[in-house]
Amino acid sequence: MSSKFLDLQKVPLEVKTKASNLQDDVTLLMPPIGLGCFASHDEEKKKVAKGWILSALKSGYRHLDTAWMYDTERLVGEAIRESGIDRREIFVTTKLPWHHPGYVLQSIDESLKAAQLDYFDLYLIHFPQAVRYPEGYGRPKNPDDPNAIEAIKSPTIQETWADMEKVLASGKARAIGVSNFSEKTLSELLQTAKVRPAVNQIELHPFLAQTKLLQFCKQNGIKVTAYTPTAYEKGRTNPVIVEIAKQYSVSPSQAVLAWHVKRGCAATPKSTNEARQRENLMLPDLSDEDMKRIDALDSNLRLCNFPNERGMIYGWTMEQLGWD
């Protein structure tokens, strides 16, 4: 099959924000493919992260996805400045960590200072639950240890969102949104929200298609960004995906990213290899039949965030999160 490639410049996601202090809606154009900028909690791996973030910018990426918890905000800012690309051409997302709900205004200042940027294009609540670490406001010693994470009842989702709206009004973020929210937690937020979330970033891939949640977000004017978008090795080796990729003379990752874009979603794959970074921006135009074949792989399988032996995910149960 001859490959017809998508023109990604013609399919950006329109991220709309309506703030009470603004006369008109603000519409941002979010490139559909972004670079996931999680490096590792390993200091040696973080040392080389700026190099692959910079190579992504030089390869054509204009969407960088970082977070306070990734500890790469500084590296993202440095890479932007070293690239020589006008800051206004780059869509930068970062996230409020789950142990900063009581410090929203201070936390974004901390993130801006780390990145040496004047604003972020998108600021997300990283997880719906508020948690407390033994160290309080500072970074936990082991953020991957579920026993170090204690969920707290206050501030609530609604209270944290009210502070996010203050961030939007301040101009320090051009749009605000959420991450890892379900229909349940979004519904709780929307009960009191004056500004609807512009984006919900969720684990999303062929084995966790999240069709019902996508429809809910669409009905409420919320764009969706996929993390873990290619499903790691499972996606790259799946026989159906491999066969479809061969038909279009592309890699399995390219085929899956094309599936995301044609579903109307953004995706933020992490790639440290310059050649693969370039590939990720060259996506085939999948046929309706091939889209359905990938749709059929859905098995509600989580590969990134899933319950520990006590049935908890960072201090909350699946029921509290509203995850099926």
8 Å CB contact between 92 and 117: yes
Chunked into runs of 10 residues, the chain (324 residues) has average pLDDT values of 77 76 72 94 80 97 96 96 97 95 95 98 97 72 68 95 96 97 98 96 98 97 97 98 97 98 97 96 97 98 90 92 94
51-86 residues labelled b (16+ CB within 10 A) or e (exposed): ebbbbbbebebbbbbbbbbbbbbbbbbbbbeebeee
* pLDDT computed for residue 1 by the predictor: 53
> What pLDDT shows up at residue 18?
65
**Quick one: pLDDT at residue 189?**
97
What per-residue confidence (pLDDT) applies to 271?
A: 94
117's CB contacts (< 8 A; 6+ apart) are: 77, 80, 87, 92
d(CA 101, CA 162) in angstroms, rounded, equals: 11
Q: What is the SS3 assignment for 149? A: coil
Catalytic: 70?
A: yes
Q: What is the pTM of this model?
A: 0.95
Give residue limits of the domains in the chain. 8-313
Residues contacting residue 304 through CB under 8 Å, at least 6 positions apart:
203, 227, 228
Please give the biggest Cα pair distance in the chain.
Answer: 57
Single out the catalytic residue among 70, 123, 133, 227. Answer: 70
* 204-215: b (≥16 Cβ within 10 Å) or e: bbbbbbbeebbe
Please tell me the distance from the alpha carbon of residue 64 to that of residue 287, in angstroms, as a whole number.
29
Identify whether the C-beta of residue 177 lies closer than 8 Å to the C-beta of residue 199. Answer: yes
Is 96 within 8 Å of 104 (Cβ atoms)? Answer: yes
Cβ(49)–Cβ(37) under 8 Å?
Answer: yes
pLDDT at position 4: 85
- Class level of CATH domain 8-313: alpha beta
Residue 126 annotated in ligand binding: yes
Give the separation between CA 205 and CA 256, rounded to whole angstroms. 8
φ/ψ of 101, rounded to 5, equals: -55, -30
